């Protein structure tokens, strides 16, 4: 099904919002004002967007430490995300979670995750709930090439298959787990090869190509909604920044990122494709660029001005006997 | 000859010297060889902690990067330990024990006893713990009490570069599984460390400051908080004795009891949660063995029973500080 004009505009806005959010965080992190670990998703936008464009309120996603893109894709409020990353009291998690733990259960965003491989079992659970409750919902677990080697990932593939769950496993293979290459750490050629061992379709897509991701995601979501079970999809893509902010990335090739940015930027590709096919005009895209820039500017400004959590919050949201 | 080096360097040096001495010592962990298969510089990272940097160059394939697969590689270290190697595995953050706990506590911890004394498991699991880095609930915990609870595991919590080197060398030479807990706030701490190899025996607490009025029992990073408090209290004419446990299993109860028998008062300072912790453990032992010597109820200073929060102001409130220790000491002195 070809995308409508509105859908194309929505997809571009989603990708651009993620990109701007991350580019801005990169700059703001360098000032020292943002605490903790920040893992940026820049370069990988087409993956979150290609999947989340198919989702609605019934659906859930489980994310990982590189979770800003998934969160934006699933509709988390950008201002509240930014405030969370700054550790402010009005953040999405009241400032208690930070970048690595952004969550909005009301939006079906089950949480970024500090534990590599922590998300897939949770996605199985969400898919089980959707199935039992008959909501028609699906669950997606987004995780990395590194996480794909984790026992919980393999166990979840098996469980989802055994229980025939409406669950989709998305390996975002950006070539590295921290400094370690996926060529070293993943024993098969493609992480998606593992699907056959768990009796589900395994698909490899170019994760820089929104349209390719969108199509593969659509099939998997349809299959899940029709009760036909799980799918494993591997998006081959790249991250534009270090593993976390502050990573000198000396394990990467010389000019690696520069070349990637110049040749396979998912936003550039999207723009080229939709304008050359006369689906959208440069001007329409530029308008979105401007609106997104203003949105992110505003979110940073508001986050910086927001108060810290009240000290009493230290002892709330948990049972304490002494 | 002692030089001034960091806790991080002291740990790296202990590893290098033991690898030099004994070729059955091997290292494994995520990025400990700097990132296998990546196109850039060799040994770009020495693990995320930088502790193992340079060792890959020196020892080649005795330093192994692992996939992110803690259950399998921690278990493999345990299995290799029963089969002639002395592996040192790096579990990046102590929080990740959740992924591989079975291999540590049902496997490694049990073999020697369960197999009737017929097994040795000389494995060391080095892991980073503690709050203070805005790393939030899944990267900041002090989980050593959980390991301390389990018979068969030895648990080490060095507080200085000197202790880090000597205790790590002992850990590698020890024939039981050892959980070696490094506080992330201590890596940059510098101190005098002898160049030559030396081992600090387990189960020997260190009286780092002598005093008459109150015993403060503590460990790890909190040792430095205890000293800060003791310095301040000295100005109020309160004399504190500070005992650094060094190892929580085995634990040197003799030194604790002897100190409390001299001072008659006990404050236990621990960065972990208050329930079923080192603080409760030490308190219980003193209550049982030295009750008659106590002139006041024991006070525990710990983090609250909550996960570690992200926001800077909340995390600062979470971590026990010298002010709280001073308050607890004044309380046991009847001066509050
Ligand atoms: C259980 C566990 N092991 C290790 C880590 C440390 N860690 C955080 S992210 C990461 C690399 C993850 O790589 P990948 O899954 O490929 O995701 P990417 O960062 O490339 O998006 C590692 C090793 C962790 N957080 N949790
Ligand atoms: Mg990766």
For residue B91, which of A35, A116, A186 has the smallest C-alpha distance? A116
Q: Are residues B229 and B325 in the same domain?
A: yes
Contact (CB, 8 A) for B185 and B133: yes
Instruction: Tell me what pLDDT residue B43 has.
Output: 83
Whether A299 has a pLDDT exceeding 80, the answer reads yes
Tens of pLDDT, residue by residue over B220-269, are: 999 999 999 999 999 999 999 999 999 999 999 999 999 999 999 999 99
Distance CA A61, CA A47 (A): 13
Cα(A150) to ligand 1 centroid in Å equals 10
Does residue B200 lie in a domain region?
Answer: no
* Alpha-carbon gap, residue A197 to A41, rounded angstroms: 30
List Cβ neighbours of A230 (8 Å cut-off, separation of 6 or more).
A127, A157, A160, A161, A164, A165, A166, A167, A168, A169, A198, A200, A224
> Is there a single domain that holds both residue B267 and residue B210?
yes
Residues B185 and B280 in one domain: no
Count, residues in chain A? 322
Partner B, chain A 37-96, Cβ-Cβ below 8 Å: 37, 87-89, 93, 95-96
* Beta carbons of B45 and A256 less than 8 Å apart: no
| Whether residue B224 sits in one domain with residue B167 | no
For position A1, what pLDDT does the model report? 62
Using CA coordinates, name the residue in chain B closest to A36.
Answer: B134
Answer whether A24 touches B (CB < 8 Å). Answer: no
Say if residue A150's pLDDT is above 70: yes
* Inside any domain, residue B245: yes
Q: Which of these, B173, B141, B139, B138, lies nearest to B154 by C-alpha position? A: B173
Please give the Cα distance from B280 to A171 (Å, whole number): 44
CA torsion angle A32 A33 A39 A44 (round to 10): -110
For tokens 């859930």, the residue is: A60
What residues are paired with A140 via a beta bridge? A61, A168
Q: Mutate which of B29, B49, B68 to disrupt the A interface (most A C-beta within 10 Å)?
A: B68
Structural domains of chain B, count: 2
Both tokens assigned to B137? 């609930």
User: Does residue B167 share a domain with residue B84?
Assistant: yes
Reduce the DSSP state of residue B201 to 3 states and report it. coil
Q: Which ligand is nearest to the CA of B67?
A: 1
Looking at the fold, whether B29 and B111 belong to one and the same domain comes out as yes
Asked if B230 and B326 count as a contact pair (C-beta separation under 8 A), the reply is no
- Band of the pLDDT at B299, cuts 50, 70, 90? very high
Mean residue pLDDT of chain B comes to: 97
Q: Among the three residues B169, B194, B219, which one is the final residue of a domain in this structure?
A: B194
Query: Contact B290/A286 with Cβ under 8 angstroms?
Result: no
**What proportion of chain A, given as a percentage, has pLDDT over 70?**
99
Pair (B178, B311) in one structural domain: no
Q: Which helix (H) or strand (E) holds A17?
A: helix A5-30
Q: Which among A51, A18, A41, A40 is positioned nearest to A169, based on CA atoms?
A: A51
Averaged over B141-170, what is the pLDDT? Answer: 98
Largest CA distance in chain B: 66
pLDDT(B328) > 80: yes
For residue B31, tell me if it sits in a domain: yes
Banded pLDDT at B282 (limits 50, 70, 90):
very high
Beta bridge partners of A202: A232
Same domain, B95 and B227: no
What pairs with residue B63 in β-bridges? B27
Report H helices in chain B: 7-21, 55-59, 70-81, 97-101, 111-114, 144-148, 161-173, 222-234, 253-263, 278-289, 312-318, 322-332
| CATH number of the domain that residue B304 is part of | 3.40.50.920
Name the phi and psi angles at B285, rounded to 5.
-65, -40
The nearest CA of chain B is from the CA of A244 a distance in Å of 11
The mean pLDDT value of chain A amounts to 97
Residues whose CB falls within 8 Å of the CB of residue B146, separated by 6 or more in sequence, listed in order: B97
| Residue of B35, B71, B318 with shortest CB distance to A179 | B35
Structural domain containing residue B69: 2-194
Active site residue B139: yes
Q: Is A247 exposed, middle or buried (0-12, 13-18, 19+ CB in 10 A)?
A: middle
d(CA B171, CA B147): 15
Instruction: Specify whether B319 is located in the same domain as B174.
Output: no
Contact, B174 vs B148, CB < 8 A?
no
User: Residue A3 and residue A214: Cα distance in Å, rounded?
Assistant: 10
**Is residue A178 classed as helix, strand or coil in its secondary structure?**
coil
Q: B31: Cβ below 6 Å to ligand 1?
A: no
pLDDT level of residue A262 (50, 70, 90 thresholds): very high
B74 and B173 inside one domain: yes
**DSSP letter (8 states) at residue B103:** I
**Among A17, A12, A30, A94, which Cα is nearest to A294's?**
A17
**Token pair for residue A188?**
């098969």
Is there a cis peptide before residue B250, judged by omega within 30 degrees of 0?
A: yes
Angstrom distance (rounded) from CA A11 to CA B101: 42
Q: How far apart are CA B210 and CA B175, in angstroms?
A: 33
Topology adopted by domain A5-306: Rossmann fold (3.40.50)
Query: Which pLDDT score, from 0 to 100, does residue B189 have?
Result: 98
CA angle (A23, A139, B92) in 5-degree steps: 60
Distance CA B286, CA B294 (A): 9
CA of B292 to the centre of ligand 1 (A): 52
What lies within 8 Å, CB to CB, of A107 at 6+ separation is A74, A75, A76
Q: Indicate the residue among B194, B228, B256 that finishes a domain.
A: B194
Question: A 184-243 residues with CB below 8 A of B?
Answer: 184-186
- Which of A44, A45, A65, when mutated, tests ligand 1's pocket best, judged by the most ligand atoms within 8 Å of its CB? A65
Sheet containing strand B299-302, strands side by side = B206-209, B240-244, B214-218, B266-270, B299-302
Name the token pair of A99: 């970048």
Rounded distance between C-alpha atoms, residue B321 and residue B172, angstroms: 33
The CA-to-CA distance between both ends of chain A, in Å, stands at 58
Based on the fold, state whether residues B170 and B282 are members of the same structural domain: no
Contact B99, A150 (CB under 8 A): yes
Identify whether B302 is part of a domain: yes
Mean pLDDT of B49-62: 93
The widest CA-to-CA distance across chain A, in whole angstroms, is: 66
What's the CA gap between B168 and B229, in Å, rounded?
Answer: 28
A87-126 per-position pLDDT tens digit: 999 999 999 999 999 999 999 999 999 999 999 999 999 9
Task: Enumerate the β-bridge partners of residue A5.
Answer: none
- Cα of A179 from ligand 1 centre, angstroms: 10
| B199 within a domain of the structure (yes/no) | no
- DSSP for A67-85? -HHHHHHTT--HHHHHHHH
What is the average per-residue pLDDT within A237-256?
Answer: 95
Could you say which of B194, B222, B244 is where a domain stops? B194
Q: Are residues B215 and B80 in the same domain?
A: no
For chain A, what are the domain ranges?
5-306
In which band, very low, low, confident or very high, does the pLDDT at B44 lie, cut at 50, 70 and 90?
confident
User: Is it the case that residue B211 has pLDDT exceeding 80?
Assistant: yes
Given a contact cutoff of 8 angstroms between Cβ atoms, the answer to whether B161 and B105 are in contact is no
- Tokens matching residue A77: 């409020």
């Amino acid at each position: 099904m070809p995308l409508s004009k509105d859908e194309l505009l929505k997809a571009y806005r989603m990708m651009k919002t993620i990109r701007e959010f991350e580019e801005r965080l990169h700059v703001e992190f360098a000032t020292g004002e943002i605490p903790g670990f920040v893992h940026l998703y820049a370069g990988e936008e087409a993956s979150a967007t290609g999947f989340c464009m198919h989702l609605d309120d019934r659906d859930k996603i489980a994310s990982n430490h590189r979770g800003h893109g998934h969160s934006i894709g699933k509709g988390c409020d950008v201002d509240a995300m930014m405030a969370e990353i700054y550790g402010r009291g009005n953040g999405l998690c009241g400032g208690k979670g930070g970048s690595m733990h952004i969550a909005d259960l009301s939006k079906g965003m089950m949480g970024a995750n500090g534990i590599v491989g922590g998300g897939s079992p949770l996605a199985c659970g969400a898919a089980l709930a959707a199935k039992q409750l008959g909501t028609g919902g699906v669950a997606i677990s987004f995780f990395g090439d590194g996480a794909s080697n984790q026992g919980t990932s393999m166990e979840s593939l098996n469980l989802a298959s055994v229980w025939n769950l409406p669950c989709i496993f998305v390996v975002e293979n950006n070539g590295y787990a921290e400094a370690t290459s996926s060529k070293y750490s993943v024993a098969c050629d493609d992480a998606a090869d593992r699907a056959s061992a768990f009796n589900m379709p395994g698909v490899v897509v170019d994760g820089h190509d929104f349209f390719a991701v969108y199509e593969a995601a659509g099939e998997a979501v349809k299959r899940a909604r029709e009760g036909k079970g799980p799918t494993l999809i591997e998006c081959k893509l790249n991250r534009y920044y270090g593993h976390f902010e502050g990573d000198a990335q000396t394990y990467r090739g010389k000019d690696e990122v520069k070349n990637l940015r110049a040749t396979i930027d998912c936003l550039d590709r999207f723009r080229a494709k939709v304008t050359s096919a006369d689906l959208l005009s440069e001007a329409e895209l530029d308008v979105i660029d401007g609106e997104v820039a203003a949105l992110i500017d505003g979110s940073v400004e508001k986050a910086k001005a927001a108060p810290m959590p009240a000290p009493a919050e230290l002892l709330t949201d948990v049972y304490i006997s002494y | 000859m002692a030089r001034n080096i960091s806790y991080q360097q002291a740990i790296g040096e202990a590893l290098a010297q033991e690898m030099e001495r004994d070729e059955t010592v091997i290292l494994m962990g995520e990025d400990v060889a700097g990132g296998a298969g990546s196109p850039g510089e060799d040994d770009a990272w020495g693990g995320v902690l930088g502790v193992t940097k340079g060792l890959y160059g020196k020892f080649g394939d005795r330093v192994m990067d692992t996939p992110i697969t803690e259950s399998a590689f921690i278990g493999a270290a345990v299995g290799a330990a029963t089969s002639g190697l002395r592996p040192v595995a790096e579990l990046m953050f102590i929080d990740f024990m959740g992924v591989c706990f079975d291999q540590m506590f049902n496997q490694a911890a049990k073999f020697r006893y369960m197999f009737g004394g017929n097994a040795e498991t000389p494995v060391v699991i080095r892991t980073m713990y503690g709050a203070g880095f805005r790393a939030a609930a899944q990267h900041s915990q002090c989980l050593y009490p959980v390991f301390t609870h389990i018979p068969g595991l030895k648990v080490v919590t060095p507080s200085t570069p000197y202790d880090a080197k000597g205790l790590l060398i002992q850990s590698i030479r020890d024939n039981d599984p050892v959980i070696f807990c490094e506080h992330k706030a201590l890596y940059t701490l510098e101190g005098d460390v002898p160049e030559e190899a030396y081992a600090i025996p387990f189960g020997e607490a260190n009286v780092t400051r002598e005093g008459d009025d109150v015993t403060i029992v503590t460990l790890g990073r909190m040792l430095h908080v205890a000293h800060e408090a003791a310095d301040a209290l000295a100005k109020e004419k309160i004399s504190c004795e500070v005992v650094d446990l060094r190892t929580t299993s085995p634990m040197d109860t003799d030194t604790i009891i002897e100190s409390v028998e001299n001072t008659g008062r006990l404050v236990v300072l621990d960065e972990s949660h208050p329930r079923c912790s080192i603080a409760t453990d030490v308190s219980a032992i003193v209550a049982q063995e030295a009750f008659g010597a106590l002139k006041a109820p024991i006070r525990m200073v710990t983090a609250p029973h909550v996960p570690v929060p992200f926001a800077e102001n909340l995390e600062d409130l979470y971590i026990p500080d010298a002010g709280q220790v001073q308050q607890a000491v004044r309380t046991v002195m009847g001066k509050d």
